[in-house]
Amino acid sequence: MLTKAEKTKQFILETAAPLYNEKGISGVSIDDILEASKLTKGCLYGHFENKEDLSEQVIDLSLKKISEKLRAEMLKGKTAKGKVFSFIDFHKNPLQTYITGGCPIFNAAVEADDNYPDIKQKVAKVFRVGQEEITAVLQEGIDNGEFSDHLDPVVFAFKMVAAIEGAIVMCRVMDTAKPMQGLIKSLKSELEQYVM
């Protein structure tokens, strides 16, 4: 059970997450968060040292939420192929993302690249762990005879994540989900070629 202070802090983080995802770290002001949360500056700073502290905790929350959601989706699959297809299908509508404003992993990566080295490291870890998990699922499929050993799990995992992340951005900019549908079909078709 969370204390009142912990609930307030969680509320601030949850309220700020979509703002950060839509406007970016630099684009969000403390006033934006105060307006959305209807809290006072004193209350906000009672929970966070400064905007940098708030920003890091908001990004942590967003990265954790999207990672947990992706893991939960993958677990719905009963086979290695099913798990990978569940991961791919999670991204089928890039215009209606899990957190408003697009993929928080990609959004944080782009902004953090040159300006926020601590956040850059957090995003790098999410990408690294995510690809390792997908690679492990693909390797599991090879080991249990579901996939041919001609499949390179590391290369396919990287290609899949890179293609999906890029497609999310492109689809959002072009305001259409149609290219993502083609990509999903292509990725699934490529993986099917390795099914035994």
Domains detected in the chain:
4-192 (1.10.357.10)
Proportion of the chain above pLDDT 90, given as a percent:
70
| pLDDT band of 114, cuts 50, 70, 90 | confident
The pLDDT value given to residue 96? 81
Q: What is the mean pLDDT of residues 54-63?
A: 92
- Name the residue among 78, 104, 80, 109 with its Cα closest to residue 91: 104
The pLDDT value given to residue 155? 97
Whether the pLDDT of residue 6 is over 80: the answer is yes
pLDDT, greater one: 98 or 83: 83
The pLDDT value given to residue 60? 92
Structure tokens at 5: 């202070």
Q: Where does residue 127 rank: exposed (0-12), middle (13-18), buried (19+ CB within 10 A)?
A: middle
Whether the pLDDT of residue 87 is over 90: the answer is yes
Mean pLDDT rounded to a whole number for the chain: 92
Residues 134-192: tens digit of each pLDDT = 999 999 999 999 999 999 999 999 999 999 989 988 998 899 999 999 999 999 999 99
Structure tokens at 151: 């499949």
The pLDDT value given to residue 106? 81
The pLDDT value given to residue 134? 96
The pLDDT value given to residue 97? 76
The pLDDT value given to residue 61? 92
Residue type, 59: I
| pLDDT band of 116, cuts 50, 70, 90 | confident
Q: What is the mean pLDDT of residues 57-69?
A: 91
Q: CA–CA separation, 13 vs 26, rounded Å?
A: 16
The pLDDT value given to residue 139? 97
Stretch (H or E) spanning 165: helix 153-174
